[in-house]
Structure 1
Amino acid sequence: MNVVILCDGTPPKPEQLKKELKNSSLFIAADGGAFTADRMGVHPDVIIGDLDSYQKTGQEPGEVIHDPDQETNDLEKALAYAYKMEANHVTVFGATGKRLDHTLKNLSVLKQFHNQFESIIFKDRYSDLFLLPIHFETELPMKTTVSLFPLSGKVDGISTRGLKYSLTDGVLENGVQDGSSNETIENKIEIVHKKGDLLIFINHKTD
Protein backbone atom coordinates (compact mmCIF):
# COMPACT_ATOMS: atom_id res chain seq x y z
CA MET A 1 0.00 0.00 0.00
CA ASN A 2 1.43 3.36 -1.06
CA VAL A 3 0.64 6.41 1.06
CA VAL A 4 1.34 10.09 0.39
CA ILE A 5 1.58 12.55 3.29
CA LEU A 6 1.56 16.31 2.77
CA CYS A 7 2.91 18.48 5.59
CA ASP A 8 2.89 22.25 6.06
CA GLY A 9 6.50 22.99 5.10
CA THR A 10 7.67 24.35 1.75
CA PRO A 11 5.18 23.04 -0.83
CA PRO A 12 6.33 20.70 -3.58
CA LYS A 13 5.72 21.49 -7.21
CA PRO A 14 2.09 20.62 -8.02
CA GLU A 15 3.19 18.17 -10.71
CA GLN A 16 5.43 16.38 -8.18
CA LEU A 17 2.57 15.81 -5.80
CA LYS A 18 0.02 14.87 -8.44
CA LYS A 19 2.40 12.37 -10.05
CA GLU A 20 2.90 10.63 -6.72
CA LEU A 21 -0.81 10.61 -5.96
CA LYS A 22 -1.51 8.64 -9.14
CA ASN A 23 0.28 5.66 -7.63
CA SER A 24 -1.04 6.00 -4.07
CA SER A 25 -3.90 4.34 -2.22
CA LEU A 26 -4.18 6.89 0.59
CA PHE A 27 -3.53 10.64 0.76
CA ILE A 28 -3.04 12.18 4.20
CA ALA A 29 -2.71 15.89 4.95
CA ALA A 30 -0.92 16.69 8.20
CA ASP A 31 -2.84 19.65 9.63
CA GLY A 32 -1.86 22.78 7.63
CA GLY A 33 -0.83 20.60 4.72
CA ALA A 34 -4.55 20.57 3.94
CA PHE A 35 -4.29 24.21 2.84
CA THR A 36 -1.52 23.31 0.39
CA ALA A 37 -3.64 20.46 -0.95
CA ASP A 38 -6.56 22.82 -1.45
CA ARG A 39 -4.42 25.34 -3.35
CA MET A 40 -3.25 22.54 -5.64
CA GLY A 41 -6.76 21.26 -6.24
CA VAL A 42 -6.26 17.85 -4.64
CA HIS A 43 -8.33 16.37 -1.82
CA PRO A 44 -6.89 14.39 1.09
CA ASP A 45 -8.60 11.20 2.19
CA VAL A 46 -7.65 12.13 5.75
CA ILE A 47 -6.66 15.36 7.50
CA ILE A 48 -4.96 14.69 10.83
CA GLY A 49 -3.21 16.76 13.47
CA ASP A 50 -3.76 18.90 16.53
CA LEU A 51 -5.56 21.26 14.14
CA ASP A 52 -3.84 24.39 15.40
CA SER A 53 -3.63 25.47 11.74
CA TYR A 54 -6.52 23.79 9.96
CA GLN A 55 -10.09 24.34 11.15
CA LYS A 56 -12.73 21.80 10.21
CA THR A 57 -15.39 23.22 7.87
CA GLY A 58 -17.69 20.24 7.54
CA GLN A 59 -17.30 20.38 3.75
CA GLU A 60 -14.24 18.12 3.58
CA PRO A 61 -14.61 15.16 1.20
CA GLY A 62 -12.48 13.02 3.54
CA GLU A 63 -12.14 12.32 7.24
CA VAL A 64 -10.82 14.94 9.70
CA ILE A 65 -9.09 13.53 12.78
CA HIS A 66 -8.34 15.84 15.71
CA ASP A 67 -5.45 14.49 17.79
CA PRO A 68 -4.59 17.04 20.50
CA ASP A 69 -1.54 15.15 21.83
CA GLN A 70 1.27 17.69 22.23
CA GLU A 71 3.95 15.04 22.68
CA THR A 72 3.78 14.19 18.96
CA ASN A 73 3.91 16.51 15.97
CA ASP A 74 1.57 16.38 12.98
CA LEU A 75 3.92 14.25 10.88
CA GLU A 76 4.16 11.68 13.69
CA LYS A 77 0.37 11.57 13.85
CA ALA A 78 0.12 11.08 10.09
CA LEU A 79 2.75 8.34 10.05
CA ALA A 80 1.14 6.56 12.99
CA TYR A 81 -2.15 6.60 11.07
CA ALA A 82 -0.42 5.28 7.93
CA TYR A 83 1.11 2.47 10.00
CA LYS A 84 -2.30 1.65 11.48
CA MET A 85 -3.65 1.38 7.93
CA GLU A 86 -0.85 -1.09 7.11
CA ALA A 87 1.03 1.13 4.68
CA ASN A 88 4.13 -0.33 3.04
CA HIS A 89 5.61 2.66 1.23
CA VAL A 90 5.28 6.27 2.38
CA THR A 91 6.21 9.44 0.49
CA VAL A 92 6.23 12.66 2.49
CA PHE A 93 6.03 16.14 0.98
CA GLY A 94 6.33 19.43 2.86
CA ALA A 95 8.42 18.01 5.71
CA THR A 96 11.28 20.44 5.01
CA GLY A 97 11.60 24.18 4.58
CA LYS A 98 10.10 27.15 6.42
CA ARG A 99 11.12 26.77 10.10
CA LEU A 100 14.45 25.00 10.53
CA ASP A 101 13.44 23.58 13.91
CA HIS A 102 10.43 21.90 12.27
CA THR A 103 12.68 20.44 9.56
CA LEU A 104 15.09 19.03 12.15
CA LYS A 105 12.21 17.59 14.17
CA ASN A 106 10.85 15.90 11.06
CA LEU A 107 14.25 14.35 10.35
CA SER A 108 14.10 12.92 13.86
CA VAL A 109 10.62 11.58 13.06
CA LEU A 110 12.03 10.00 9.90
CA LYS A 111 14.52 8.08 12.05
CA GLN A 112 11.76 7.15 14.51
CA PHE A 113 9.56 5.56 11.83
CA HIS A 114 12.31 4.27 9.54
CA ASN A 115 11.81 0.62 10.46
CA GLN A 116 8.00 0.76 10.49
CA PHE A 117 7.65 0.72 6.69
CA GLU A 118 9.34 -0.93 3.73
CA SER A 119 10.30 2.58 2.62
CA ILE A 120 9.76 6.14 3.79
CA ILE A 121 11.08 9.01 1.70
CA PHE A 122 10.93 12.79 2.02
CA LYS A 123 10.58 14.69 -1.25
CA ASP A 124 10.79 18.40 -1.94
CA ARG A 125 11.54 20.66 -4.89
CA TYR A 126 15.27 19.99 -4.60
CA SER A 127 15.88 16.49 -3.28
CA ASP A 128 14.70 13.04 -2.38
CA LEU A 129 16.03 12.10 1.04
CA PHE A 130 15.84 8.94 3.09
CA LEU A 131 17.80 6.82 5.53
CA LEU A 132 20.02 4.23 3.91
CA PRO A 133 20.01 0.54 4.72
CA ILE A 134 23.38 -1.02 5.55
CA HIS A 135 23.82 -1.90 1.87
CA PHE A 136 22.30 0.32 -0.82
CA GLU A 137 22.44 0.24 -4.61
CA THR A 138 20.59 2.34 -7.18
CA GLU A 139 20.90 3.71 -10.70
CA LEU A 140 21.01 7.47 -11.31
CA PRO A 141 21.83 9.75 -14.23
CA MET A 142 25.46 10.72 -14.57
CA LYS A 143 26.49 13.88 -12.72
CA THR A 144 23.60 13.66 -10.26
CA THR A 145 24.48 15.54 -7.08
CA VAL A 146 24.36 13.28 -4.04
CA SER A 147 24.99 14.22 -0.41
CA LEU A 148 25.45 11.98 2.62
CA PHE A 149 24.72 13.18 6.15
CA PRO A 150 25.34 11.37 9.46
CA LEU A 151 21.95 11.82 11.13
CA SER A 152 23.17 9.94 14.20
CA GLY A 153 26.07 12.38 14.53
CA LYS A 154 28.64 9.83 13.41
CA VAL A 155 28.51 7.00 10.87
CA ASP A 156 31.30 4.43 10.63
CA GLY A 157 32.55 2.07 7.95
CA ILE A 158 31.26 3.91 4.88
CA SER A 159 32.37 2.66 1.47
CA THR A 160 31.05 4.04 -1.82
CA ARG A 161 31.27 3.13 -5.48
CA GLY A 162 30.23 5.27 -8.44
CA LEU A 163 30.72 8.62 -6.70
CA LYS A 164 33.37 11.20 -7.63
CA TYR A 165 34.65 11.51 -4.06
CA SER A 166 34.80 7.95 -2.82
CA LEU A 167 35.08 6.56 0.69
CA THR A 168 36.65 3.27 1.73
CA ASP A 169 35.74 2.23 5.26
CA GLY A 170 35.46 5.95 6.03
CA VAL A 171 33.74 7.98 8.72
CA LEU A 172 31.37 10.91 8.49
CA GLU A 173 30.91 12.95 11.64
CA ASN A 174 29.12 16.23 12.27
CA GLY A 175 31.63 19.05 12.70
CA VAL A 176 34.50 16.85 11.52
CA GLN A 177 33.86 15.52 8.01
CA ASP A 178 30.74 15.73 5.89
CA GLY A 179 29.65 14.15 2.63
CA SER A 180 27.89 17.02 0.91
CA SER A 181 27.77 17.77 -2.82
CA ASN A 182 29.24 14.58 -4.21
CA GLU A 183 28.53 13.55 -7.80
CA THR A 184 27.78 10.33 -9.64
CA ILE A 185 30.44 9.24 -12.14
CA GLU A 186 28.71 5.96 -12.99
CA ASN A 187 25.06 5.17 -13.63
CA LYS A 188 25.04 2.66 -10.79
CA ILE A 189 26.13 3.66 -7.30
CA GLU A 190 26.70 1.54 -4.21
CA ILE A 191 26.93 2.72 -0.62
CA VAL A 192 27.53 0.55 2.42
CA HIS A 193 28.02 1.50 6.05
CA LYS A 194 28.58 -0.44 9.25
CA LYS A 195 27.23 1.68 12.08
CA GLY A 196 25.01 4.75 12.47
CA ASP A 197 22.12 6.45 10.69
CA LEU A 198 23.13 7.68 7.25
CA LEU A 199 20.90 10.06 5.28
CA ILE A 200 21.17 10.39 1.53
CA PHE A 201 20.04 13.43 -0.44
CA ILE A 202 19.56 12.77 -4.16
CA ASN A 203 19.26 16.19 -5.73
CA HIS A 204 17.01 17.10 -8.65
CA LYS A 205 17.96 19.38 -11.49
CA THR A 206 15.81 22.47 -10.87
CA ASP A 207 14.64 25.22 -13.19
Structure 2
Amino acid sequence: MHAVIVSNGFPPKTELLQQEAQHSDLLIGADGGGNRILEKGLRPHIVIGDMDSFEKPENPGFEVIYEPDQETNDLEKALRLALDKGVETCHVLGAFGLRMDHSLKNLSVLKQFHDRFETLLYRDETFDAFMVQQQFSMKCEVGNIVSLFPLSGAVHGITTTGLRYKLSGEKLENGQRDGTSNETTDPEFSIQIESGDLIVFVERG
Protein backbone atom coordinates (compact mmCIF):
# COMPACT_ATOMS: atom_id res chain seq x y z
CA MET A 1 0.00 0.00 0.00
CA HIS A 2 1.33 3.41 -0.98
CA ALA A 3 0.53 6.73 0.71
CA VAL A 4 1.24 10.35 -0.07
CA ILE A 5 1.40 12.80 2.82
CA VAL A 6 1.27 16.54 2.23
CA SER A 7 2.90 18.54 4.99
CA ASN A 8 2.61 22.29 5.57
CA GLY A 9 5.93 23.49 4.14
CA PHE A 10 6.45 24.90 0.66
CA PRO A 11 3.34 23.71 -1.20
CA PRO A 12 3.91 21.27 -4.05
CA LYS A 13 3.01 22.46 -7.52
CA THR A 14 -0.28 21.22 -8.92
CA GLU A 15 1.33 18.87 -11.46
CA LEU A 16 3.49 17.14 -8.86
CA LEU A 17 0.63 16.74 -6.39
CA GLN A 18 -1.70 15.39 -9.06
CA GLN A 19 0.90 12.88 -10.25
CA GLU A 20 1.59 11.71 -6.71
CA ALA A 21 -2.10 11.50 -5.77
CA GLN A 22 -2.89 9.52 -8.92
CA HIS A 23 -0.49 6.77 -7.89
CA SER A 24 -1.41 6.65 -4.20
CA ASP A 25 -3.81 4.46 -2.28
CA LEU A 26 -4.08 6.98 0.54
CA LEU A 27 -3.74 10.79 0.42
CA ILE A 28 -3.18 12.34 3.84
CA GLY A 29 -3.01 15.99 4.79
CA ALA A 30 -0.81 16.71 7.80
CA ASP A 31 -2.84 19.54 9.33
CA GLY A 32 -2.19 22.60 7.10
CA GLY A 33 -1.10 20.22 4.37
CA GLY A 34 -4.80 19.50 3.99
CA ASN A 35 -5.24 23.10 2.85
CA ARG A 36 -2.58 22.59 0.19
CA ILE A 37 -4.45 19.55 -1.15
CA LEU A 38 -7.79 21.33 -1.28
CA GLU A 39 -6.24 24.42 -2.90
CA LYS A 40 -5.10 22.24 -5.80
CA GLY A 41 -8.62 20.97 -6.38
CA LEU A 42 -8.00 17.54 -4.87
CA ARG A 43 -9.61 15.86 -1.89
CA PRO A 44 -7.61 14.05 0.81
CA HIS A 45 -8.78 10.80 2.31
CA ILE A 46 -7.78 12.00 5.79
CA VAL A 47 -6.49 15.16 7.43
CA ILE A 48 -4.78 14.69 10.79
CA GLY A 49 -3.10 17.07 13.23
CA ASP A 50 -3.65 19.44 16.11
CA MET A 51 -5.75 21.59 13.75
CA ASP A 52 -3.90 24.84 14.36
CA SER A 53 -3.55 25.37 10.59
CA PHE A 54 -6.20 23.37 8.76
CA GLU A 55 -9.22 25.34 7.52
CA LYS A 56 -11.89 22.69 7.73
CA PRO A 57 -14.70 22.98 5.16
CA GLU A 58 -18.25 22.99 6.49
CA ASN A 59 -18.99 19.57 4.95
CA PRO A 60 -15.54 18.12 4.24
CA GLY A 61 -16.55 14.74 2.80
CA PHE A 62 -13.39 13.15 4.23
CA GLU A 63 -12.14 12.11 7.66
CA VAL A 64 -10.65 14.76 9.92
CA ILE A 65 -8.72 13.45 12.94
CA TYR A 66 -7.94 15.86 15.78
CA GLU A 67 -4.74 14.85 17.58
CA PRO A 68 -3.82 17.49 20.20
CA ASP A 69 -0.60 15.80 21.37
CA GLN A 70 2.12 18.49 21.40
CA GLU A 71 4.94 15.97 21.85
CA THR A 72 4.64 15.01 18.18
CA ASN A 73 4.38 17.23 15.14
CA ASP A 74 1.73 16.84 12.45
CA LEU A 75 3.98 14.88 10.10
CA GLU A 76 4.69 12.35 12.87
CA LYS A 77 0.97 11.99 13.43
CA ALA A 78 0.39 11.42 9.71
CA LEU A 79 3.18 8.86 9.44
CA ARG A 80 1.88 6.91 12.43
CA LEU A 81 -1.57 6.92 10.88
CA ALA A 82 -0.12 5.61 7.62
CA LEU A 83 1.58 2.76 9.47
CA ASP A 84 -1.67 1.93 11.27
CA LYS A 85 -3.38 1.75 7.87
CA GLY A 86 -0.81 -0.77 6.60
CA VAL A 87 1.13 1.60 4.36
CA GLU A 88 4.43 0.15 3.14
CA THR A 89 5.77 2.96 0.93
CA CYS A 90 5.28 6.66 1.56
CA HIS A 91 6.16 9.92 -0.21
CA VAL A 92 6.02 13.17 1.74
CA LEU A 93 5.48 16.48 -0.06
CA GLY A 94 5.94 19.87 1.58
CA ALA A 95 8.35 18.65 4.26
CA PHE A 96 10.68 21.62 3.84
CA GLY A 97 10.33 25.37 3.77
CA LEU A 98 8.31 28.18 5.35
CA ARG A 99 9.91 27.64 8.78
CA MET A 100 13.52 26.58 9.23
CA ASP A 101 12.86 24.87 12.56
CA HIS A 102 10.06 22.80 11.02
CA SER A 103 12.38 21.72 8.19
CA LEU A 104 15.01 20.54 10.67
CA LYS A 105 12.37 18.80 12.77
CA ASN A 106 11.13 16.94 9.70
CA LEU A 107 14.65 15.66 9.01
CA SER A 108 14.58 14.24 12.54
CA VAL A 109 11.19 12.67 11.74
CA LEU A 110 12.73 11.07 8.65
CA LYS A 111 15.34 9.39 10.86
CA GLN A 112 12.64 8.28 13.30
CA PHE A 113 10.41 6.61 10.70
CA HIS A 114 12.56 5.62 7.73
CA ASP A 115 13.16 2.02 8.81
CA ARG A 116 9.47 1.44 9.54
CA PHE A 117 8.56 1.67 5.86
CA GLU A 118 9.88 -0.21 2.87
CA THR A 119 10.40 3.23 1.32
CA LEU A 120 10.05 6.65 2.91
CA LEU A 121 11.17 9.72 0.99
CA TYR A 122 10.59 13.44 0.97
CA ARG A 123 9.91 14.84 -2.50
CA ASP A 124 9.70 18.26 -4.11
CA GLU A 125 9.80 19.44 -7.72
CA THR A 126 13.56 18.87 -7.98
CA PHE A 127 14.86 16.46 -5.33
CA ASP A 128 14.09 13.30 -3.42
CA ALA A 129 15.55 13.00 0.09
CA PHE A 130 15.91 9.74 2.02
CA MET A 131 18.12 8.04 4.58
CA VAL A 132 20.94 5.56 3.97
CA GLN A 133 22.36 3.61 6.91
CA GLN A 134 24.20 0.73 5.24
CA GLN A 135 24.20 0.51 1.47
CA PHE A 136 22.17 1.87 -1.40
CA SER A 137 22.27 2.03 -5.18
CA MET A 138 20.02 3.52 -7.82
CA LYS A 139 19.83 4.33 -11.51
CA CYS A 140 20.00 8.00 -12.36
CA GLU A 141 20.70 10.24 -15.32
CA VAL A 142 24.34 11.22 -15.75
CA GLY A 143 24.98 14.73 -14.45
CA ASN A 144 22.24 14.75 -11.82
CA ILE A 145 23.08 16.37 -8.50
CA VAL A 146 23.56 14.07 -5.51
CA SER A 147 24.21 15.59 -2.08
CA LEU A 148 25.28 13.60 0.98
CA PHE A 149 24.48 15.15 4.34
CA PRO A 150 25.39 13.67 7.73
CA LEU A 151 22.25 14.04 9.83
CA SER A 152 23.51 13.54 13.37
CA GLY A 153 27.21 13.93 14.06
CA ALA A 154 29.56 11.89 11.91
CA VAL A 155 28.97 9.25 9.26
CA HIS A 156 31.95 6.86 9.00
CA GLY A 157 33.29 4.64 6.27
CA ILE A 158 31.51 6.17 3.28
CA THR A 159 32.36 4.63 -0.07
CA THR A 160 30.72 5.75 -3.29
CA THR A 161 30.75 4.69 -6.93
CA GLY A 162 29.36 6.52 -9.93
CA LEU A 163 29.85 10.00 -8.44
CA ARG A 164 32.26 12.68 -9.65
CA TYR A 165 33.78 13.28 -6.22
CA LYS A 166 34.38 9.77 -4.95
CA LEU A 167 34.61 8.77 -1.33
CA SER A 168 36.58 5.72 -0.25
CA GLY A 169 36.02 4.75 3.37
CA GLU A 170 35.82 8.42 4.35
CA LYS A 171 33.99 10.43 7.01
CA LEU A 172 31.48 13.24 6.72
CA GLU A 173 30.63 15.23 9.83
CA ASN A 174 28.43 18.17 10.69
CA GLY A 175 30.45 21.36 10.92
CA GLN A 176 33.51 19.67 9.43
CA ARG A 177 32.81 18.23 6.00
CA ASP A 178 29.70 17.37 4.03
CA GLY A 179 29.05 16.08 0.55
CA THR A 180 26.77 18.65 -1.05
CA SER A 181 26.59 19.20 -4.82
CA ASN A 182 28.21 16.01 -6.01
CA GLU A 183 26.97 14.64 -9.34
CA THR A 184 26.54 11.35 -11.13
CA THR A 185 29.05 10.23 -13.75
CA ASP A 186 27.44 6.86 -14.52
CA PRO A 187 23.86 5.66 -15.11
CA GLU A 188 23.96 4.06 -11.66
CA PHE A 189 25.58 5.16 -8.42
CA SER A 190 26.03 3.47 -5.07
CA ILE A 191 26.73 4.47 -1.49
CA GLN A 192 27.97 2.26 1.32
CA ILE A 193 28.54 3.38 4.89
CA GLU A 194 29.87 1.72 8.02
CA SER A 195 27.98 3.75 10.63
CA GLY A 196 25.92 6.90 11.04
CA ASP A 197 22.83 8.55 9.62
CA LEU A 198 23.26 9.83 6.09
CA ILE A 199 20.63 11.86 4.26
CA VAL A 200 20.89 11.61 0.48
CA PHE A 201 19.38 14.24 -1.80
CA VAL A 202 19.01 13.10 -5.43
CA GLU A 203 18.00 15.34 -8.29
CA ARG A 204 15.20 13.80 -10.30
CA GLY A 205 15.09 13.95 -14.07
Deviation of residue 107 (structure 1)? 0.5
Q: 8 Å contact 2:146–2:182 — kept in the other structure?
A: yes
Counterpart check, 1:33 vs 2:33: yes
Q: What is the letter of the counterpart of residue 99 of structure 2? A: R
Q: CA RMSD in A?
A: 1.0
Deviation of residue 19 (structure 1)? 0.9
Deviation of residue 34 (structure 1)? 1.2
How far does the alpha carbon of each residue in 1:133-173 deviate from its partner, in whole angstroms, 9 at most, with x for none?
Answer: 41111010010000000012210000000000000000000
Deviation of residue 199 (structure 1)? 0.5
Q: What is the letter of the counterpart of residue 33 of structure 1? A: G
Q: 8 Å contact 2:4–2:24 — kept in the other structure?
A: yes
Q: What is the aligned partner in structure 2 of residue 123 from structure 1?
A: 123
| Identical-pair percentage | 47
Secondary structure of 1:28's match? Answer: strand
Quote the Cα distance in structure 1 between the aligned partners of 2:57 and 2:65: 13
Alignment of 1:152-163 (within 5 A): 152-163=152-163
Deviation of residue 61 (structure 1)? 1.8
Secondary structure of 1:3's match? Answer: strand
Secondary structure of 1:168's match? Answer: coil
Question: In the comparison of the two structures, how many residue pairs are matched?
Answer: 205
Q: What is the aligned partner in structure 1 of residue 165 from structure 2?
A: 165
How far does the alpha carbon of each residue in 1:28-74 deviate from its partner, in whole angstroms, 9 at most, with x for none?
Answer: 00111111111111100000000011143341121000000011100
Deviation of residue 103 (structure 1)? 0.2
Find runs of 4+ consecutive structure 1 residues off by over 4 angstroms.
none
Quote the Cα distance in structure 2 between the aligned partners of 1:4 and 1:127: 16
Alignment of 1:131-170 (within 5 A): 131-170=131-170
Q: What is the aligned partner in structure 2 of residue 67 from structure 1?
A: 67
Structure 2's unaligned 5+ residue stretches are none
Structure 1's unaligned 5+ residue stretches are none
Q: What is the letter of the counterpart of residue 19 of structure 1? A: Q
Alignment of 1:2-81 (within 5 A): 2-81=2-81
Q: What is the letter of the counterpart of residue 66 of structure 1? A: Y
Secondary structure of 2:82's match? Answer: helix
Deviation of residue 15 (structure 1)? 1.0
Q: 8 Å contact 2:28–2:48 — kept in the other structure?
A: yes
Q: What is the letter of the counterpart of residue 156 of structure 1? A: H
Secondary structure of 1:148's match? Answer: strand
Q: What is the letter of the counterpart of residue 77 of structure 1? A: K
Q: What is the aligned partner in structure 1 of residue 187 from structure 2?
A: 187
How far does the alpha carbon of each residue in 1:94-119 deviate from its partner, in whole angstroms, 9 at most, with x for none?
Answer: 11011000000010011111111111
After superposing the two structures, state which structure 1 stretch, 155-164 or 56-65, moved more.
Answer: 56-65
Quote the Cα distance in structure 2 between the aligned partners of 1:113 and 1:162: 28
Quote the Cα distance in structure 1 between the aligned partners of 2:25 and 2:62: 14
Q: What is the TM-score with the length of structure 1 in the denominator?
A: 0.96
How far does the alpha carbon of each residue in 1:174-194 deviate from its partner, in whole angstroms, 9 at most, with x for none?
Answer: 111110000100011011001
After superposing the two structures, state which structure 1 stretch, 184-193 or 123-132, moved more.
Answer: 123-132
Q: What is the letter of the counterpart of residue 53 of structure 1? A: S
